[in-house]
C-alpha cells in the first residue's frame, strides 16, 4: 500500500529524517509516534510532496510518488489532513467539504460523499452554510477529516488529529477512525503525540526519535513495552 525506503529529508542543514523504512499494510491503521521534533510531521509532508526527500523512495499503490507534485499525489488517492486540520476559515463548512472532492469528475458521487460525511459528523450538518472559522476545535477537526474523506481516498494521512482537543472529543475522533476502517477498509496513517490513544485503535506502530525509526511492532506489543513507553512515548 505505502512503502517508504531509506527516506531522508533536510531543512537546510538540519536533518529531519534519516534513512526511514516503513510499511503500511492495506486496510490497517498505523500509528507514527514520538516526541516533538522527532520527524513525524515531516514524514507526512514528504509522503504528500510538501517537503522533498533528500534521499530514498516513497511508493504508494505500487507507484513511485517521491517526486510527484502534491496535487497529483492527492488525486491519486492520498488524503493528508495537516496539523491543525488546515480548515480554510474564510470558506463555509460546505465549501470546505466540497473542495475535498472537486478533482473527482463524478458529480453525483460528490454529492453522495457530502451526504455521507455530514452523516458521519452530525455536528457539521446544521452549520454547513456557516463560515468554517466559527467552528469549535473539535468541529474543525471533524471538518478537516470529513474534507479528506470527500475525495474517497485510499489512504488517509492524519497529523495530530487530537491536538488541543478535550479528551472526550479526542476519543470520539479516534472512535470515528476505528469505525471508518472497520466499515470501509480505509488505510490510515496516524501521527500522534498521544501514543496511548493512538495505539488503542492501531494495528501497528512506528516510533520515531530524532528522525530515525527507533522501534516498530504490533500496537499491542508497543503498548506493553514499559521501557519504550518511558523513553519515547511519555506515559
Interatomic CA distance for residues 193 and 181, integer angstroms = 21
Q: Which grid cell is 31?
A: 500509528
Radius of gyration (Cα) for the chain, nearest Å? 17
Q: Which three cell numbers, joined as nine digits, stand for 143?
A: 471538518
Q: Which is nearer to other proteins, 110 or 127 (CB)?
A: 110
C-alpha cell at 119: 452523516
CB of 69 to other proteins, least distance (A): 8
Q: Minimum CB separation from other proteins for residue 225, in Å?
A: 34
All three cell numbers of 212, joined, read 530515525
In the complex, the smallest distance separating the C-beta of residue 48 from other proteins, rounded to whole angstroms, is 6
45 vs 181, which CB is nearer to other proteins? 45
Q: Is 102 exposed, middle or buried (0-12, 13-18, 19+ CB in 10 A)?
A: exposed
Closest to other proteins by CB, 133 or 164: 133
Smallest distance from the beta carbon of 89 to other proteins, in angstroms? 8
Residue 32 or 81 with smaller CB distance to other proteins = 81
Considering only CA atoms, which of 204, 190, 194, 216 is closest in space to residue 47?
190
Cβ burial of 163 (10 Å; 0-12, 13-18, 19+) is middle
Nearer to other proteins among residue 91 and residue 169 (C-beta): 91
- Residue 215 CA to residue 223 CA, distance in Å, equals 12
Chain positions contacting other proteins, by CB under 8 A: 48, 50, 69-71, 74-75, 79-80, 82, 86, 88, 90-91, 95, 98-100, 102-103, 133, 147, 151
Smallest gap from residue 194 Cβ to other proteins (A): 23
Amino acid at each position: 500500500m505505502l512503502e517508504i525506503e531509506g527516506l531522508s529529508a533536510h531543512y537546510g542543514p538540519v536533518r529531519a529524517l534519516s534513512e526511514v523504512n516503513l510499511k503500511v499494510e492495506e486496510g490497517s491503521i498505523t500509528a507514527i509516534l514520538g516526541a516533538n521534533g522527532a520527524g513525524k510531521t515531516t514524514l507526512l509532508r514528504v509522503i504528500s510532496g510538501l517537503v522533498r526527500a533528500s534521499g530514498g523512495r516513497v511508493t504508494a499503490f505500487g507507484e513511485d510518488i517521491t517526486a510527484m507534485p502534491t496535487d497529483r499525489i492527492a488525486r491519486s488517492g492520498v488524503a493528508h489532513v495537516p496539523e491543525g486540520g488546515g480548515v480554510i476559515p474564510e470558506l463555509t463548512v460546505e465549501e470546505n467539504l466540497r473542495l475535498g472532492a472537486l478533482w473527482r469528475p463524478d458529480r453525483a458521487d460528490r454529492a453522495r460523499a457530502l451526504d455521507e460525511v455530514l452523516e458521519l459528523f452530525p455536528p457539521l450538518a446544521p452549520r454547513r452554510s456557516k463560515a468554517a472559522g466559527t467552528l469549535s476545535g473539535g468541529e474543525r477537526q471533524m471538518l478537516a477529516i470529513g474534507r479528506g474523506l470527500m475525495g474517497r481516498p485510499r489512504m488517509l494521512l492524519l497529523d495530530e488529529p487530537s491536538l488541543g482537543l478535550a479528551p472526550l472529543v479526542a476519543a470520539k475522533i479516534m472512535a470515528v477512525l476505528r469505525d471508518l476502517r472497520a466499515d470501509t477498509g480505509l488505510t490510515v496513517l496516524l501521527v500522534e503525540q498521544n501514543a496511548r490513544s493512538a495505539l488503542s485503535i492501531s494495528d501497528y506502530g512506528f516510533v520515531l526519535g530524532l528522525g530515525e525509526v527507533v522501534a516498530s511492532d504490533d500496537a499491542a506489543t508497543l503498548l506493553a513495552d514499559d521501557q519504550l513507553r518511558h523513553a519515547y512515548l511519555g506515559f
